[in-house]
Amino acid sequence: MDNIASVRRYFKAWIDRDADAILASLVAGGTYQDPSTVVPVSGEALRSYVNGLWLAFPDLTFEEESIGETGHNTVAAQWLMRGTNTGSMMGLPPTGKAVSLHGADFFTLRDGKIETVIGYFDKGELPRQIGLDVIVQPAQIGPFKFGISTSVQTGKTQEPGAFSITYLEALDDATVKTVREGSRASLVDMLKMDGFIGAVTATIDHRMVTIGAWDSPEASRQVMKQGAHAGVMKSLYDGTVAKHGFTSVWTKHRINPVVVRCETCGKTTRGPGEDRLCSCGAKLPDPAPFW
């Protein structure tokens, strides 16, 4: 079999969602690498990678845009990947959005089989197309460290009566992912709990914090007894995900009234009454949630 035919057989295995055929198209120990894998992967690690893509995009397919030999036992191929995000990706719920991603693979071959595949594509384009933010920022500048944050809102605008704060220092990058998945499941549980108002999470390097707003200290205790949060805390105590951490509940000392700006006259009003009217007579916009 010539080299171009070998590469086309490899792409057909991707289109057929046949992990065995993908691995069979490579020599023993053959490797695959792209911007998502960072390092070359082979064998079962490659199988896990392709299965993850098919889980996120069950209709994943490739269209050949160009292919040609570039030297002795080397082939280059340009492709267009299409698919619909109807499965979980990076632990997130599917968005249902379609993607169309251009890329190129460079192959080395030996005895009719692929020895290495190195793929190139815009790593940020795929998450952007399915509606995810792609933020480029430094990890640290002087005393400032940077990370990512998530807000969960119920739509309630009442004053919180208490805040729950959970902090974990994850062991490494892998356990950051484990804790994040557990935290996400815990937040889904919280949305079903009476007295929950909203929450904000932050991940900065291996430091992970969740701050939840509740209508009372008693309501906040539900999260310690129910659902995924108990599992996360068990992992803290058995030492499998974190170096250290703590949970706490903080009660209200003082919360100033919400300030609302009139969209007609521009005047701000502190703590508008039930009639929600500005002194100019215009109706004031709904206040933002406290948390």
pLDDT at site 175: 86
Nearest to 11 by CA among 57, 64, 70: 64
**pLDDT average, residue stretch 15-38:** 95
Most confident of 105-114, 167-176, 233-242: 105-114
> Could you give all domains of the chain from N- to C-terminal order, each with its CATH number?
3-129 (3.10.450.50), 145-251 (3.30.70.100), 256-291 (no CATH)
Task: Give the chain as a DSSP string.
Answer: --HHHHHHHHHHHHHTT-HHHHHHTEEEEEEEE-TTT-S-B-HHHHHHHHHHHHHH-TT-EEEEEEEEEEETTEEEEEEEEEEE--S-BTTBPP---EEEEEEEEEEEEETTEEEEEEEEE-TTHHHHHTT-------SEETTEE--EEEEEE----SPPSEEEEEEEEESSHHHHHHHHHHHHHHHHHHTTSTTEEEEEEEEETTEEEEEEEESSHHHHTHHHHSTHHHHHHHHHHHTSSEEEEEEEEEE-S--PPPEEE-TTT--EEES--TT-B-TTSPBPPPPPP--
Query: Does 146 have pLDDT greater than 80?
Result: yes
pTM summary value: 0.62
- Write down the pLDDT at residue 35: 92
Share of the chain above pLDDT 70, in %: 96
pLDDT, residue 226, reads: 65
Task: Report residue 140's pLDDT band, with 50, 70 and 90 as the boundaries.
Answer: confident
- Looking at residue 227, what is its pLDDT? 66
The gap from C-alpha 105 to its chain's centroid, in whole angstroms, comes to 26
Residue 234 has pLDDT above 90, yes or no: no
Least confident span in 25-39, 181-195, 198-212: 181-195
- pLDDT-derived band at 193 (thresholds 50, 70, 90) equals very high
pLDDT given at position 272: 67
* Tens-digit pLDDT profile for residues 162-180: 999 988 899 988 888 888 8
The pLDDT tens digits of the residues spanning 3-23 come to 999 999 999 999 999 999 999
